[in-house]
Copies of this chain bind each other. A is one copy, B any other.
Amino acid sequence: MELRSYENLLSIARLAPLDNPKRIVFGIEAVNQVGEEAKKLKAKNILVVTDENIEKAGLLDKVKAPLDAEKLKYYVYKIPTAEPTMSSAKAITDHVRKNKYDLVIGVGGGSCMDSAKLAAIMATNKGDVESYCASATKAPEPLTEDALPKILIPTTAGTGSEASNTLVIIDGGYKTWITDAKVLADVAIVDPIMTLTCPPRMTAGSGMDALSHLAEAVMVRKWHPISDAIALKGISLVAQNLRKAYYDGNNLEARWGMSLAAMLGGWVIGFPWVGGPATIGHCIAEALGPKWNVPHGVSCAICLPYAMKYNLPVAPERIRLIGEAMGVETEGLNDYEAAEEAVRAVAELACDVNISLALKDYKVPKDELKDFAEYLVNERQYMYDLKNNNPRTITLESITALMEQMWEGEL
């Protein structure tokens, strides 16, 4: 059999093709560069995608000022202050197709940036949004046309959408997404100043979202040294900075570290072998969140330590690395012991930023868990190709047990 046929089984047999975010401008006051970057992209008529909260917090003004200074023409489109839905996706698609924009700038959290990405691809690609979305039952249509150029400017430190090749949409009760190199930003402008006003609860949730991207990238079955390099640095940054950013929102050094960690998290989930990330953690989190109205970051925070515990029997040497990057002392411990310390470190971090790890605290009805586990195992796992991406095999029995532990908060 050909070497490549072994790529799910042997790390040396893998081909690692990756598309990078093309340009990143990171640092304090980086947002002041937006006018210059827009000019470099030869923009004449810009669509700025944001929402009401971003405008109220004065963050939109920080983007408008450099655009005005360069005398650039732009229109501000405000999406609803919620995660993108099929209906909001269609609305922005209609808008962008009716107007002749040549650059899209997204300013905000994941919702604004993902809506901006969607606008940029739907402006040039024909057909319905749904046809490009991932589904458990059929392959999405490929994006045939290059998107409009896009600049993404995050105001949270979490999603990493500014550096990822994915956009997420809530379709009915669950999440779907569009993943393609054409979804990547032309320029990610990451300025920790833009996150200073992010309130503590959102800081905690989005920070744990970033950690889940980074840690799942290390845990994923087809891990690679390239993603390890980026992800382990990001994990260290979260461990060093999230508590400080949560309890002291004006700690600019902590915000700096979290903005960087989140960007690295978005970057690394775009590598195809990380796939979004495609472990049992995000598989559950992205179903759980929309279904029981748990914010995305909190949902990821809850699932991460359980996903690590679930995979611990088969990938202790990978989970150990997560703990070591967090600063866990593992000298003298074997891989299993060290991996258990890693799970504990993640749980402690969530606890320290006041995120409960028990689903019962989020009004999740216990009697719906069994059906939910069946949905995960019979349908949803195929959207993540968990067989090839998650280290430990998925069975109805093991996932049902896991959901019960998550409900009780038994780690």
Spell out A's residues near B (CB within 8 Å): 3-4, 12-30, 33, 181, 225-226, 228-230, 232-234, 237, 252-253, 256, 260, 264
A229 touches B226 (CB 8 A): no
Contact partner of A237 among B23, B28, B225, B252, CB < 8 A? B225
Complex Cα spacing A18 to B264, Å: 13
Q: Which of B12, B14, B19, B226 contacts A22 (CB 8 A)?
A: B19
Are B237 and A233 closer than 8 Å at their CB atoms?
Answer: no
Q: Which B residues lie within 8 Å of A232 (CB)?
A: 229
Give the residues in chain B near A225, CB-CB below 8 Å: 233, 237, 260
22 contacts between A and B (CB under 8 A): A3-B28, A3-B29, A4-B29, A13-B28, A14-B27, A15-B28, A15-B29, A16-B26, A18-B23, A18-B25, A18-B26, A19-B22, A19-B23, A20-B20, A20-B21, A20-B23, A20-B24, A26-B226, A226-B260, A228-B233, A229-B229, A230-B230
Number of this chain's copies in the complex: 2
Please give, as numbers and ranges, the residues of chain B lying within 8 Å of A27 by CB-CB distance. 14-16
Bound CA span A256–B226, Å: 13
Which residues from chain B contact A30 at a C-beta distance below 8 Å? 15
Assembly CA distance A264 to B227 (angstroms)? 12
Min distance, Cβ A329 to any Cβ of chain B, angstroms: 12
Residues in B whose Cβ lies below 8 Å from that of A230: 229-230
> Do A22 and B22 touch (CB < 8 A)?
yes
A16 — which chain B residues lie within 8 A by C-beta? Answer: 24-27
Q: Which residues of B contact A29 (CB under 8 A)?
A: 3-4, 15
A226 contact set on B, CB distance < 8 A: 24, 26, 233, 260, 264
